Structure 1
């Protein structure tokens, strides 16, 4: 009988943009009129016939036990109660509540205060739209950074932000931070925004010197290694108390001088600056000459009874200084070792002559004493 007829509705939850199935179960249906209405009480279907021109709604099933419709591309505006009405002698209706969940997008990071060495960085992570409200957290090296959270109700959805303030140094430049958005609709798959700290600091300058000793005719190449954020766009080379040589060529951070001479000696300065400071480094150039030194070695030849000295040319060897700051002394034409040897030989000869003289003198006196008795006997 009509009095025994009934209708039951099933609630449904769907993600925004998904497809919702709205079902009405019928009990002891006898062909009475079944009407389905949206939350605004607009009739969608009348006994299986479309009544509202909205192609997103489709009648999927109309049977004595079940009426089922689908709604595609669901939005939060579709949320609410859908009425399943059965018209008999008395009207029976049930409401199927459609709930729409809005997962957060990947959050954005806003820089509220630029990070300068020795100061603080103020960063805000923003999730502009979610339902229910997303949970935001900042992470660094696996550790959570507490932030100040604010939430705004936009009617159907919520916007959430989390702000942190952290001290920064030069070493923090490029450090990785993560802002994570957690939401029940994501099933544990958090939406993550990766951000790298951009810390501004004054430049540092270091001149990379050449290896070895520089002599006249060599080429000089000095490279100025610069760090800084932002990186200085230009590098300034100069010579202290003088102008750069005419042969000096500057290519970016590199200074080159071909065919060095001692006139190039001096202190060269590399400078760089950005909006947060300036720095400099210097290099002192010392160029050695290539003049060969000739060493004379004395030798003795007995031509007559008078000794003479002949000069033999020796190979020209320029002494290598131990370091650029060393003072190179000019060697004497007569080596001290040879002079010492000659003096030692003379001393030895004199000693030998003295010994022989003393020995002969003693021997002669002994000879006189032996002859005296013989003369007396005669």
Structure 2
């Protein structure tokens, strides 16, 4: 049992010692790696000369016995390309860079053994190791990556295609040729499609990238923007190529100009045949469905002009446009209508009609006013109560005294103003003059003197007259029963006056109210009735 425990302890001690040795080696390697200083990466273009620098920063307590530069290709084995021993000449073994590699400066310095490679090639790209052999610590190294750059030749182009296919086709190509490292290509567009990219390696380790954009083209896609963007390490900014899609299609035709208001007699109306196509249209032809062109139609290129619309234009017009891809057409059916009044003329006519109606109403109103005024003027004596008439007839309207005198002079019924003949004036609707209707004068004795009284319409006419106002009706109704006639049987003229034996005042009042002066200077009675 004790022996087994001792053996286990011995194994554990050996394991601990091994771990300590590995740790010390790793620590020593880390420290030595920090003392060899190199550039992590060097860029170069083909044909240039590159400098690969190397230096040992702290050689205290050790001896630098040898410096070796080793080349390790991307796909290959390590190869020594330059060796330097103190007190010896530099050595350049056989390698892909022999004859183009050398230490710098010359003669080299073991503390700074940099090398120079001239006329570098694309195949020179890879890992370059600067390794020191030291005593007593062993070998220490630093690694530099040489990256060969090749600025590519970038280009882009569109591919002319025809619309109407059923499978996506290539509409544009973009390439980045002989670049190092490989370029990246992207597409920027609003059209629907997909890109495919292919890479190809050249003989000198360059990369060629080709990208194609595929889509199902339509006529609407023609002329739309498509950009190819190429980004590369050698470029300050990406190259962008703006392209216009080239999609060929048969003409798309549209006829414009018909406003659905072609009426008989309308002049100079036009139809225009508009077409879009790729390639450009070759011919434009106008036809009619009936096959006959109306006589009033003129055709100039894509414009059809109708000089004057008539029934012959009542047809269907066809416009056909042709290009290399095919033929496109459009039709329009014209319906010839009866002439109609335009909205502006209708407004003028309506305004004229309304104005005429207003003028007629105004004239009618004016006539009515004039007629009413004329009638009122003819009946003015009634409105004034007859006072003015009595003044004209009896000289100021003074009543006769009981002794038969008026105004203090004369005798009889009418005083001094009733010496002439007295007439009755008819103001009926017939508007006839004095005595025109019944021009019969018969003698009448008033106050012992003969007077002449003109015949007037019957009492029935007076009662039915529209021009007899209320005052006259009341005056007539107030007469005594024996002084008026309600019925007449014809025959000889009938005279009704107040009896001569009435009192003088009554006669004077009666005569003042009854007598009326006429336009010819005569005086007639208002209430005298003749048949």
Please, what TM-score do these two structures have when normalized by structure 2? 0.38
- SS of 2:220's equivalent in the other structure is helix
Aligned to 1:135: 184
Please say which of residues 39-48 and 28-37 is displaced more in the overlay.
28-37
Shift of 1:157: 0.7
- Retained in 1: the 8 A contact 2:39–2:52? yes
| Structure 1 partner of 2:98 | 41
CA positional deviation for 1:236: 1.3
Aligned to 1:161: 210
**Are the aligned partners of 2:101 and 2:116 in contact in 1 as well (CA < 8 Å)?**
no
Deviation at 1:168, TM superposition (A): 3.3
Aligned match of 2:42: 13
Q: Whose radius of gyration is greater, 1 or 2? A: 2
Cα distance in 1, alignment partners of residues 292 and 256 from structure 2: 21
Contact 1:201–1:276 (Cα < 8 Å) also in 2? yes
Q: Deviations over 1:137-195 (max 9, x none)?
A: 4454499x6544332211221112234543333333344444443445558x5444343
Residue equivalent to 1:248: 298
* TM-score (normalised: structure 1): 0.50
User: Whose RCO is larger (CA < 8 A, sep 6+)?
Assistant: 1
Q: 1:114, 1:121 within 8 Å by CA — same for their partners in 2? A: no
Unpaired segments ≥5 residues, structure 2: 1-35, 57-63, 65-84, 131-141, 344-531
The answer on whether the counterparts of 1:217 and 1:261 sit within 8 Å (CA) in structure 2 is yes
Over 3 Å counting, the alpha-carbon distance change for 1:115 and 1:184 in structure 2 is farther
Provide the residue aligned with 2:400 in structure 1: none
Residue of structure 2 aligned with 1:225, choices 262, 274, 281: 274
CA–CA distance in 2 between the matches of 1:193 and 1:133? 18
**Helix, strand or coil for the counterpart of 1:195?**
strand
Counterpart pick for 1:102 among 150, 153, 159 = 150
Q: 1:216 to 1:120 in 2, by over 3 A?
A: same
**CA deviation profile, 1:44-86 (whole Å, cap 9, x unmatched):** 779769xxxxxxxxxxxx9x958687979x87477579999xx
Any unmatched runs of 5+ in structure 1? Answer: 1-6, 50-61, 85-93, 290-317, 323-378
In structure 1, the residue matched to 2:247 is 199
SS of match in other structure, 1:102: coil
- Distance (whole Å) between structure 1 residues aligned to residue 342 and residue 55 of structure 2: 108
Q: What CA distance in whole angstroms lies between the structure 2 residues aligned with 1:256 and 1:148?
A: 53
CA distance in structure 2 between the partners assigned to 1:47 and 1:227 by the alignment: 71
Distance in 2, matches of 1:47 and 1:171, equals 66
Task: Give the number of equivalent residue pairs.
Answer: 266
- Specify which of 114, 120, 135 is matched with residue 161 of structure 2: 114
Specify whether residues 22 and 35 from structure 1 end up closer, same or farther in structure 2 by C-alpha distance, changes over 3 A only. farther
The whole-number CA distance in structure 1 between the counterparts of 2:328 and 2:194 is 37
Q: Which has the higher strand share?
A: 1
Change (3 A) 1:97 1:321: closer
